[in-house]
Structure formats: C-alpha cells, structure tokens
Amino acid sequence: MKEEILHLVWDSGLFSPKELQTVDGHPMSILDRGELNRGSGPDFSAARIELDSIEWAGAVEIHHRSSDWNRHNHSKDSLYNSVILHVVYEHDVDIRNGNGEFIPTFELKGRIPKEVFQRYEQLSIQRATIPCSSFQSAIESKLWSLTMDEMIIQRLERKGSEISLLHKVNAGDWSQTYYALTLGFLGQNMNKLPMLELARKIPAKIVLKHLDEQRSLEALLLGVAGYLDDTNDEYALELRSTYLHFKNLYDLDEVVQKWKTGRVRPENTPLRRIIQFSTILPKLNEAWDALILGEPLNWASFVPSASSYWQSHYAFSVPSKRKLELKLSKELDTLLQINVHVPLLYYYGSSVGSGDLLRRSIALLRDLKPESNRYSRMWVKQGRKASTAADSQAMLELYTQLCSSKKCLNCSIGKSILTRT
C-alpha cells in the first residue's frame, strides 16, 4: 500500500472516529491532525493529540507497517524525535525514537471505509488516458475551476524555476535571458538545446552591436551555428568571409550539438528559424521593455527586413518556387507569448516582488487563444474545451505532471473523488 493514500486518509480524517485508542489501549483524542510536510522530516507537523487526558503537540509520522520506522532508520535521525504519534495501517512492532523513548502508535486497519480503497484501485488500474475519465461527469464546475487555477500557478512556478537557472547562468542579465529563451523557443522541442547553446556562444551583447547590419547578424548566427561550413553557395561564402572576421574578433566557437531536421518542414528548419530570429533582433530590447510595461509586442505584425536571398531560398542552394515569408505567423507569435513572454514576466514579477506583474502575466495568458494540440484534443474528448491559453496551459500541466503518471493523490480532483461521501 502506498503511504500517499494513508497521508490522504489521515489529512482528510477518512477513518472511523469511534473509540480512538493507541495499539496498547490508551484512550486518544485528535485535536489537530497537523500540516502535511513536503520537505524532510516527519510527514505532518504541528499536530495536537490528547493521550490519557494529557495534551501533546508535535509531529506525526505515517507508515504502512510499524516496522517501516526501523527500516527507514528514523530512530537515528534527530528530526524524528519530535514525533508524538506513529500512524500505521498495520501494527507489527513497537518503536522508539533516538532518545530511546517509546512512541505511541495508532492503527488505521479496520477504520478506513472500503469505498476509499475501491476508488483508489479504480483510478490506479484505469487504462484510459485520463485516470478519472469515468468520474468526469461528477466533477463539479467549481472544483474544476479551482484545479485549473492551481495548475496554471503550478506551471508558471515550474517554468519560473527553469528560467531561474538560465538567469543565473546569464549572471542576472535579463536581456540575455530573454534572448536565450526566444532562441530556445524557436528551436521547439527538437532543437531547443542547440539553440540555447547558440545563445551562449554568440551572446546578445555581441549581436546587439550589429543591429543595423542584417548580413552581419546572419553571418554571426549562422557561422556559430555551423551552417557556413562545407557549402559552395555564393551567398553562404560571402557570409562565411564576414563570419571568419568576427570569429577572430570575438574569439567565437561553433555549436557542438547536432541540429535535427528529420520530419521538419523546409520553412521550419533550424536554419530558417535562426534567420527569422536575426530579423526580429532589432526589436528585441523594445519587446522586453514593452512586456514589462504591459504592452507585449505583436511579432506577427512586425515586418522584418531580411536579405532577399531568404525570400527565394529555403536553405543554401535550395531555391523555392514561391516567395517565402519570414515574419512570425500569428500562431507562432501566440505560442511565443504563451511559452516565453508569460513565464518570463511571471518570473520577473516574482524576482522583483511585484504582485502586479504576477497578476498581469496571468491576465495576458487569459487574453490569448488556446493552443490546439494533442493534449487539448484529448481533454475535448473528456468534455473539457479550453476557452483561453490559461485553460489549455492548465490542462497541459494537469495531464503531464499528474494524470500521465497517475498521481491522483496529488490532484485536487483525485482527492475529491477519494474523499467524497
């Protein structure tokens, strides 16, 4: 039996309150079950128990069997000396703390309604994509809304942790962090890592010196990306000559990671994404300022000034029969807002202690159209259609972080199903 379900049983009081007593027969009253501890140490803190008419305050530890206390070596950990009650499903041995003091034990076996275990088993063995799919019709709209609110905050906090690492790597430089996040986004899942490597090896402080020289931007980015090697294309050779000058001037090194192009449309290859990035670079600082001021730049309306070569070529020596577009599409612009601007604004707000920026980031998400992908379509089959990007992002977080690994005991909806009477 997973201890997580026993945590839920204790936390929610899902056990018979009749004639409470310890395994050795001492009368017991539960005054406060305490607060769940997600860090190190006992499972619940700040609990209050009355034993033999004496009130005790401290921690509660929960196990399947009493002997798990010894198996986990808790008696050798001083953090567990604060435990005033050992709650177990099945008692099999008396236990003591590190001071040699006997710890009272309360056994749950026979006190938990069988429906709790039946519902938990039903969720655990469910083969459907969403474990609680058979319960969806019974989920109240208020509970669903609260869960969506929880999930969007959880997602932004989680993404904020990732941005925090990048921000530290960039020595607290917000401009470089935004620059790297944008490049990483344009690489999508397949090429995110080489794009981030590109951002490290040709940092914003260098490219921003050449904003009025489109060819120089292309030479710098494509050169460091390794796209100017082994080609006889005339335009590529021109860019390579420029790049070699900059390579010596700035002591540049090329990206080591390989670019993935399998099953990628010609207009979406890493090379073309890098070219697109070079065209929006002149607006990057303006976009960052606009984001902080609450006026996110609409990249889809920005007309880039790229070399004419890229309007007629997918790649070097790969011509196109039609004129190619270089500006970001409305769909790509929306995805950039969702995956870069909103999380970055939320993290920035957290960093500077601005509740207004935190609220603004969520409001921005609620103003954007929802994504259309396999995750959103999966929820539509459950009768859950996203109205905004906040909805689709919350549903994505719910599935990827909880549903896909059947962490129903960590989910408000799962807990509600298990604890309903």
Can you give the pLDDT at residue 421?
A: 62
Closest CA to 389 of 342, 344, 320: 342
Q: Which two tokens stand for residue 205?
A: 């402080």
Strand (E) or helix (H) holding 247: helix 234-250
Can you give the pLDDT at residue 124?
A: 81
Strand (E) or helix (H) holding 320: none
Can you give the pLDDT at residue 385?
A: 95
pTM of the shown model: 0.83
Can you give the pLDDT at residue 299?
A: 76
Can you give the pLDDT at residue 193?
A: 97
Q: Tokens 């942790």 identify what position?
A: 161
pLDDT at 17 > cutoff 80: yes
Query: For the chain, what is the mean pLDDT?
Result: 93
Residue-wise pLDDT for 288-330, tens only, equals 988 888 777 777 777 777 788 999 999 999 999 999 988 888 9
Give the rounded percent of residues in the chain with a pLDDT score beyond 70: 100
Can you give the pLDDT at residue 125?
A: 79
User: What span, in angstroms and rounded, lies between the C-alpha atoms of 364 and 291?
Assistant: 10
pLDDT at 98 > cutoff 90: yes
On whether the CB atoms of residues 346 and 358 are closer than 8 A, the answer is yes
Q: Alpha-carbon Rg of the chain, whole angstroms? A: 29
Mean pLDDT over residues 336-364, rounded?
A: 96
The amino acid that residue 52 corresponds to is D
How many other CB atoms sit within 10 Å of the CB of residue 119? 19
Of 61-65, 117-121, 256-260, which gets the smallest average pLDDT? Answer: 117-121
Can you give the pLDDT at residue 123?
A: 85
Question: Which of residues 125 and 88 earns the better pLDDT score?
Answer: 88
Give the rounded percent of residues in the chain with a pLDDT score beyond 90: 78
